[in-house]
Structure 1
Amino acid sequence: MRILSGDMGMYWTVLSQAGGETTRPTFWRIGHVGEAVFYGLSAMAIALFLYGVYHRFATYAKGSEDPTERLSDLPGRVVSAAKLVASNEKQFDRDLVAGLMHTFILWGFLTLLIGTTILAIDMDIWTKALGQESFFVGDFYLAYSLVMDGMGLLFVVGVGVALYRRYWVRNERLWGKHTSAEDGLFVWALFLLGVGGYVTEGIRILGTGFPDFETVSFVGWFVADVFQLAGVNADAAASAYPIVWWSHSILALAFIAALPYGKPFHMISSYANLVTRDEDAGRRLPKVPEDASPEEIGPSEIEDFTWKQLLDHDACTKCGRCSSVCPAKASGRPLDPRDVILDLKNYREDLESGDREEVDIVADGGTSVIDAETMESCMSCMACMDACPVDIEHVTQFTEMNRRLTESGQMNKNVEDAVMNVFQKGNTFGDPDRKRPDWTEELDFEVPDAREESVEYLWYVGDYPSYDERNQHVARSLAKVFEEAGVDYGILYEDEQNDGNDIRRVGEEGLFEMVAEDNIEAFESCDYDKIVCTDPHSYNTFSNEYDQFGFENADSVYHYTQVVEDLVNRGALGLSGTELDDTVTYHDPCHLGRYNGEFEAPREVVRATGVTLDEMPRNRSDSFCCGGGGGGLWMDFDEEPKPSEERLREALEDTDAGHGVDRFVVACPMCMTMYEDGRKTGGFEDDIEVTDVTELLVEAIEAKGGAAGSVGETSAAAD
């Protein structure tokens, strides 16, 4: 089909009556010279786009080899990433409005992109190259126009909400030290592209005399009505159309050309990042190559980052979700996960442009890109990674920078003391191995020795339940639960050593490998079916990391709440679910919940005691760290408030029960230590009690008059 035109003073006439076709003019009033100029500019924009994308990916190739297989089952990865992008499920996490906003923008943008591609195929391939009759007519055109107008409206609404949240509400997480004019230009460019498309369409509809079938373009029709009400007639619209069309077209082509060179590139890099993501990132850290020299451990220069980590840096959208959930940032520590990623990106770009000299990637003070105290502040809670919509692997990079600090002798003094204790004594307390089983002496039964007899469950007790007075009560409570239920279990006594999970996360990879190998040897000397851990940190590293050193039973490792849940469900403890009547709230430990997805087992055990469970506002994968992970338990920070204090405040003020909450229930020895400290420093000692799941369970057993005897070593007794 071709639509006839007169001279520049005449209108295009589009007929929907007999003898005419239902469609719209293309290059109306632009002329053949204008059409040629447009194609030339389009070719330039596409060339700049392709070169920019090539340059970006060529930069990633300069990074080091990634130790994780990133491209296995590539078709499956592509489909999985497409599902994440299409559903926007990560954007909905913690922020419904942002999720809807991004969904409108994404699907609106994709629809407009697909629609423009369809038009180009019809004009440039189907009709011109292949000589076929245009398919951009009739019912196809009407359906096309309706969908494009509807989805384009969602796009404009979504971008409008983005502008409102950025400039009117001034959403705090959208602003930071890396916020620049680029961020505003990006959003305004999208808004002008969306609105400009409707202005162009409205002017065309008005200038062509409101063809009846164009009512399907309901937004464009509305815009045409607005112009007409404002006094614009058809002649004026026709005269203005080339100016409006060129303004919109040049903006669109400039956007395409600039896309690889700034923030818009996240539309490509984010998807690539999702395709190459590691599902085990954070919970499973990569090994240091056996032939690596100390100078090669951890990044010293930008090329030491892997190609995937460089892609991480480019994928960051500055959305601030990681910053908004980071407990270190919330407590005033010098860590902002977004800033670390963007500092590294900017450093790389400054080196490429010659605007900066090479400096250390991470060091204690000086001119390094990242300061040592910033990395020491990380609690390895993985909240940043859970919140990130593009799956940036912060914790892995932070740990590798801690490895560089360790290898260069810049480890925090308190952490160094704990590490030396593990090296010399096998535990972070520095106490003799022979004292590890001393907690069993106050029990009125003997804890079996797994080194001397076959057991179903090899119980790895851990450092804090073995040496810390408060957590010894937890260990004894769990032993009594096992005895009550007739569990076939045993412990390693003095042959047990520190699990190494947090040793690894502060950067001491060599010591981690040593204790891992020693523990594996101790495990292999026993005859057992399963391992049960008191500490979620032990559970994590045994399950996800020890197989790197030859451990073959990683699939048979359990946290104690998982084992106890099974005992409760089987009726092995004889609970009726009415024994206790307290109101409690439960804190999800990072290494049990967010790391390993176990949320229900501890809750089932808590409910089985009869208490009323009132959930924390931030729970399950959104839980807020106690502050003890990543070596935080061994360090002193000037914090306000401490993460543990903030969490206890939340329990007493933000839960539905408020000050009616009697107990703050935990399932992690480190959490127990941090929250007992937070009770004192935050002034909550008279307001709430910190109780482990096992202590609550023992109280319930005692209340129902079970065979556990004097089981009441509760947190109250510990006080």
Structure 2
Amino acid sequence: MSSEPTRETFWQITSVGEIIFYFLTAVTILVFVYGVYSRFARYARGREDPFPRLDDIGTRIREASRIAFSNEKQFNRDLVGGLMHSFILWGFLTLLIGTTILSVDKYAYKPLVGESFYVGDFFLSYSFVMDLMGLLFVCGISIAIYRRYVVRNERLWGKHTGYEDDLFVWSLFVLGVGGFALESVRVLGWQGGPQDFEQVSFVSYFLASSYEWLGVTASQAEAIYPAVWWGHSLVALWFIAWIPYAKPFHMLSSFANVVTRDPKAGARLPGVPADPAADTATEEIDDFSWKQILDQDACTKCGRCSSVCPAKASGRPLDPRDVILDLKGYREEHDAGEEDIPIIADGGTSVIDSSTMESCMSCMACMDACPVEIEHLTHFTDMNRQLVEQADVDSNVQDVFQNVMQQGNTFGDPARNRPDWTEELDFEVPDAREEPVEFLWYVGDYPSYDERNQEVAKSLARVFEAADVEYGILYEDEVYDANDVRRMGEELLYVDQASQLIGAFEACEFETVVCTDPHSFNTITNEYPEIDFGEYADDPMMEVPVEGYWNADGTYDVKHYTQVVADLVESGTLSVPGALDYTVTYHDPCHLGRYNDIFEAPRELVVETGCDLHEMPRNRADSFCCGGGGGGLWMDYEEETKPSEERLREALEDTDAGDAVEKFVVACPMCMTMYEDGRKTGDFEDDIDVVGLTELLAESVQAA
């Protein structure tokens, strides 16, 4: 026996037992490889994804590794969940690496060199690390069990929760505990009792000493060791073989999903070919792209998307997790030979009911919360396109489509009325069609036609005048940008509106497009440059504004007004005296914050006015949607509590200032509309005012 600390790999296992183990290992590997191959071969049956997913693969893998190994997404909004997952992930990987090290020593190093490196200090270090990480692994699994079965964390349960979820968590627990049981029995039985050097395996040594205290002898431990070894080995081999066929597959599919993610997913949507004969429908499960099918397999049922979804919180029939898992479940039934049913329909039998997709606010909270980068919004938009194709569109939305087609705006008012709001100003707003300007101001539908939002537009005009900058608007040549029409599935109407608006832009001389509405800002920034107008060159119904792509090289800057005004303040061009003393809170619009990471400019401007700013508990990327996006502004819902009502309650009850908050500041016209409605329906009219940031700025500037 070696005098150096070590242990025997197959102690008490006969040569026949070793052969059986090798055979079972080979079978396990074959079953595992076949399962993984089958999974990835299935993705190839989906249609090609419209965006590159494997370009610059080295950078993608490095970034995915950083995201996966840091567990940064798991820590988002859930510290305990992040720690739990980190313990499980790093514990599992360490145990896997430890097993690999033993294999390398036994089957490669020792045969070549003639001696083992698994001795002395290496053995002691190895044993300590394995015990430490094994303990963290068991702790992580124990936290998971506690949250699932004792606390019964609501987001972990749903209609897709089943036996495989129980089997997954308990099999991991058995593997972790079984590893310590195996090692502790070895520590007690291998050399006639626990040796001092074995104390580095502090958990196993403690357990071995406990057995000894309870009266278990070294010879008894030696006798039962083979049974414990086989039990642990068979569970481990079964688990490895099971991975590709059930929930454990997320350990592979999730990483692949992060590698192939689109960093701009949601902020930009896949386009639809101009050819009317092109098959862009989502009638069958294989009409989804291979990346969308991978999305479905990557879902871990963690419910993070469900817990942040404002539609679900307000009682609408949308649960983002269920949509993804419903599609996955149907795909598996379809592959098993079950009868085909429509993917989405308005009533009747279908995988997804139309009311579910109509409930989506396109706020992208589900995607932001998802730890494995599932792109829910691409699924939702494809199904909305199918509803448009089938003419299964809500009547209110259909009216909006008609208004846009006939009048170029969502209100259905004549285009000549679009600039009427300028007549109430005591100065003339410049016409960008007639003179060169630095800032081409795209006002948008609601600031142009909605009475309350017209005050926002007038205030911004006063701010531009105070800054004495060269700006102008398009007057009646301006048309709706169609961001939300696109998210409701009317892709060709979106392209038609984009072509008209870009045509109006091209007729002007300017440097920067300034948007009042974050929805407009998002689509003009991220989606207009994606449109290949060359595809529509032969369409007699569309006047193509440019050959190919517009602004693909970034010739023009596109900014939200908060960015522009913040720049003017910083440069000294605009002076905003801190003349106001309101106690306020600020709401991050989804399309400005979560979509485009613009968080600081609006806050800097609020502070410049002198207001006492108190943050909402859910702020920045965690902001809660007003309910107006994705067509929500035009829909009628049966809701338990409107998102706007819940948000105003939060402002008055959950901010540090509590009911001392006087003004609820918004930087989005849709938010203004939704929150003014929420003030009325939620009975907050006497408690808080909803103001546009431009109104605060204009008031402060005029107070100078």
- Is 2:122 aligned against 1:140? yes
Could you tell which deviates more after superposition, 284-293 or 568-577? 568-577
Instruction: Give how far 1:292 is off.
Output: 5.1
Provide the residue aligned with 2:681 in structure 1. Answer: 681
Provide the residue aligned with 1:274 in structure 2. Answer: 258
Map 1:48-447 → 2, pairs under 5 A = 48-128=31-111, 130=112, 132-208=114-190, 209-291=193-275, 293=277, 296-354=279-337, 356-447=338-429
Mapped partners of 1:291, 1:121: distance in 2:
57
Instruction: Give how far 1:211 is off.
Output: 2.3
Provide the residue aligned with 1:7 in structure 2. Answer: none
Provide the residue aligned with 1:630 in structure 2. Answer: 630
Instruction: Give how far 1:576 is off.
Output: 3.5
TM-score relative to the length of structure 2: 0.96
Instruction: Give how far 1:236 is off.
Output: 1.1
Contact 1:298/1:402 (<8 A) preserved: no
SS of aligned partner of 2:511: strand
Instruction: Give how far 1:574 is off.
Output: 2.6
Query: In structure 2, what residue type is equivalent to 1:342?
Result: L
Contact 2:194/2:209 (<8 A) preserved: no
Mapped partners of 2:438, 2:152: distance in 1:
57
Provide the residue aligned with 1:672 in structure 2. Answer: 672
Provide the residue aligned with 2:703 in structure 1. Answer: 703
SS of aligned partner of 1:591: coil
- Is 2:597 aligned against 1:597? yes
Deviations 1:415-453 (A, max 9, x none): 110011000000000000000000000000000000000
Map 1:639-658 → 2, pairs under 5 A = 639-658=639-658
Could you tell which deviates more after superposition, 566-575 or 522-531? 566-575
Mapped partners of 1:304, 1:132: distance in 2:
58
TM-score relative to the length of structure 1: 0.94
Query: In structure 2, what residue type is equivalent to 1:590?
Result: C
Map 1:472-511 → 2, pairs under 5 A = 472-511=454-493
Contact 1:457/1:490 (<8 A) preserved: yes
Mapped partners of 1:644, 1:514: distance in 2:
32
Could you tell which deviates more after superposition, 540-549 or 423-432? 540-549
Mapped partners of 1:369, 1:298: distance in 2:
15
Contact 1:462/1:534 (<8 A) preserved: yes
Contact 2:577/2:701 (<8 A) preserved: no
Instruction: Give how far 1:291 is off.
Output: 2.8
SS of aligned partner of 1:455: coil
Mapped partners of 2:329, 2:156: distance in 1:
18
Instruction: Give how far 1:555 is off.
Output: 5.5
SS of aligned partner of 2:438: strand
Mapped partners of 1:134, 1:351: distance in 2:
53
Provide the residue aligned with 2:557 in structure 1. Answer: 556
Mapped partners of 1:373, 1:105: distance in 2:
38
Instruction: Give how far 1:71 is off.
Output: 0.3
Instruction: Give how far 1:530 is off.
Output: 0.5
Contact 2:577/2:700 (<8 A) preserved: no
Query: In structure 1, what residue type is equivalent to 2:91?
Result: G
Mapped partners of 2:438, 2:489: distance in 1:
34
Mapped partners of 1:573, 1:260: distance in 2:
61
Instruction: Give how far 1:131 is off.
Output: 5.8
Q: Could you say what the CA RMSD is over the residues aligned between the two structures, in angstroms? A: 1.1
Mapped partners of 1:298, 1:168: distance in 2:
45
The 1:554/1:52 distance shift into structure 2, 3 A limit, reads farther
Provide the residue aligned with 1:42 in structure 2. Answer: 25
Contact 2:662/2:689 (<8 A) preserved: yes
Query: In structure 1, what residue type is equivalent to 2:246?
Result: G
Provide the residue aligned with 1:523 in structure 2. Answer: 505
Deviations 1:109-160 (A, max 9, x none): 11000010110111122234x3632111111111111111111111111111
Deviations 1:608-636 (A, max 9, x none): 01111000000000000000000000000
Deviations 1:320-373 (A, max 9, x none): 00000000000000000000000000101111223x211111111111101111
Contact 2:253/2:298 (<8 A) preserved: yes
Could you tell which deviates more after superposition, 374-383 or 22-31? 22-31
Mapped partners of 2:555, 2:664: distance in 1:
31
Instruction: Give how far 1:214 is off.
Output: 1.1
Mapped partners of 1:701, 1:524: distance in 2:
33
Query: In structure 2, what residue type is equivalent to 1:107?
Result: W
Instruction: Give how far 1:30 is off.
Output: 1.2
Report % sequence identity: 67
Query: In structure 1, what residue type is equivalent to 2:492?
Result: G
Provide the residue aligned with 1:584 in structure 2. Answer: 584
Instruction: Give how far 1:234 is off.
Output: 0.8
Contact 2:323/2:352 (<8 A) preserved: yes
Contact 1:313/1:342 (<8 A) preserved: yes
SS of aligned partner of 1:428: coil
Instruction: Give how far 1:293 is off.
Output: 2.9
Instruction: Give how far 1:572 is off.
Output: 3.2
Mapped partners of 1:339, 1:379: distance in 2:
16
- How many residues in Structure 1 have an aligned counterpart in Structure 2? 683
Instruction: Give how far 1:554 is off.
Output: 7.1
Contact 1:542/1:554 (<8 A) preserved: no
Instruction: Give how far 1:219 is off.
Output: 0.9
SS of aligned partner of 1:545: helix
Contact 2:511/2:556 (<8 A) preserved: no
Mapped partners of 1:222, 1:365: distance in 2:
62
Contact 1:644/1:674 (<8 A) preserved: yes
Mapped partners of 2:104, 2:172: distance in 1:
24
Mapped partners of 2:420, 2:493: distance in 1:
25
SS of aligned partner of 2:481: coil
Mapped partners of 1:643, 1:698: distance in 2:
29
Mapped partners of 1:668, 1:408: distance in 2:
32
Mapped partners of 2:50, 2:433: distance in 1:
36
The 1:554/1:511 distance shift into structure 2, 3 A limit, reads farther
2:446 pairs, out of 449, 460, 464, with: 464
Instruction: Give how far 1:570 is off.
Output: 2.7
Contact 2:583/2:611 (<8 A) preserved: yes
Mapped partners of 2:550, 2:128: distance in 1:
60
Q: Name structure 1 gaps, 5 residues minimum.
A: 4-14, 705-719
Mapped partners of 1:426, 1:132: distance in 2:
82
Query: In structure 1, what residue type is equivalent to 2:231?
Result: S
Mapped partners of 1:670, 1:518: distance in 2:
22
Query: In structure 1, what residue type is equivalent to 2:395?
Result: K
Contact 2:330/2:351 (<8 A) preserved: yes
Instruction: Give how far 1:480 is off.
Output: 0.3
Query: In structure 2, what residue type is equivalent to 1:166?
Result: R
